[in-house]
Amino acid sequence: MTIDSKESDALSLLNAGAVRQRAHTLFDLGIKGELEHFTVDMSRLAEAARRTMAATENAYPDMQIPFHARWRHFEAGGVDRWAMLAGARRFSDVRGMGRAAFDLAILSVLMDAGAGPDWSFHEAVTDENYSRSEGLAIASLLMFSGGMFSGSPLDPLRADAGELFRVDEDEVREGLQVSETNPIVGLKERAALLKSLGEAVSLRPDLFGTMDEPRPGGLFDVLFDEGQAKPLPAPRILEVLLDGLGPIWPGREEIDGVGLGDTWRHSKIVTEDKTNNLMPFHKLSQWMAYSLVEPLVWAGVEVVDLDGLTGLAEYRNGGLFIDTGVLKLKDESNLLKSHGVDSELIVEWRALTVALLDKLADWIRTDLGVNAEQLPLACVLEGGTWAAGRQIAREKRPGGEPPLTIISDATVF
């Protein structure tokens, strides 16, 4: 069942526009020096832009920058694993391809929260070890291609709701090659998310089972059909994801019984309704939305308003702004402490990151003499801020850890 109109306060936070508007509210307070935890020094934005452009030119010297999406991680080491899988499968139509691609992207993004510094994945066919996001992507792709989530022995490239619901922690442990010597953060939580994904999908056949058995990839049919009559706005992808997958997020804020997902409290967000003090981010859901754009484009759908989505409030993008001095902690002893994802300091950092990504994208476009259509935020992220944040973290700290230590539950970062 879709969200009822009486729950409009909740609905008002389940979109990218709310993320952007409230992030910029906190940014404006930061510029005035009225935040509790951070100051904002816009004179240092030039250094963040320089770092981002250097990373972009290194990765994409021809400036043909793809979107920031899970598909880039499937191409780690210069191997286009999805193209190889899809070529071997020889899908008979675009819907079959789209459902499989959506299945893979959705479940892989849900497994993409930070793995920690001690985990890596060995890919036998290339004899390479991959860590962090690339390792999680390749591991999840191999679990998917091996039929771990399929209810059909003759069609391994699918993720059926029932099979997702039956996934247990031991299967995920084996698929991720987790051991005492190869530990990962949040193993239990990743398995629980996959089970919750299966349950949520099975409860919404109107979104996930219109032309097939319920599966995450069933969402492709809904969005593909919407994109036949007119261009499909990228924020629409996010709204459908938040509607259909909202119940999977554990123990989060709610309004009138509607879960708000990646939404947290900050005292400087002040409203006169039930959304008072609430700051939404929807980081994994927006990462998922970005990752669903390409399968739709491959199928011939025109996806527009990419910049209707926001930058991603995660530790690589946020770390770039701390490490370049755009953001400075008022109490630097917080660099030595661990912080929960629900702490106001982390919420503030994430909100400032979203707003600063908009400012940084504008700076880079002006410098290059291009507009948002020619260089959307998705390309700035990919070029871009994520890589630059990782690079400067490696320069400053052993193991490339972020500047702030976050107590992760593997469902946010």
CA distance 112 to 109: 5
> One-letter amino acid identity for 111?
M
In the predicted model, is pLDDT for residue 232 greater than 60? yes
Which distant-in-sequence residues (6+ apart) come within 8 Å of 154 by Cβ?
Answer: none
Instruction: Please give the model's pTM, rounded to 2 decimal places.
Output: 0.93
Give the integer Cα–Cα distance in Å for 52 and 72.
Answer: 17
pLDDT digits (tens, 9 = 90+) for 51-103: 999 999 999 999 999 999 999 999 999 999 999 999 998 898 999 999 999 99
CA dihedral 283, 288, 291, 295 (to 10 degrees): -160
Do residues 267 and 279 lie in contact, with contact meaning Cβ atoms separated by under 8 Å?
no
For 339, the token pair is 């912080």
All structural domains of the chain with their residue ranges: 5-407
The tokens for 81 are: 């694993």
Residue 5's pLDDT band, with cuts at 50, 70 and 90, is very low
Give the DSSP letter string of 205-273: HHHH-SSSSS-GGGHHHHHHHHHHHSPEEHHHHHHHHHHHHGGGSTT--EETTEE-SSEEE-TT---SS
Q: 150-185, pLDDT tens digit by residue?
A: 999 889 999 999 999 999 999 999 999 999 999 998
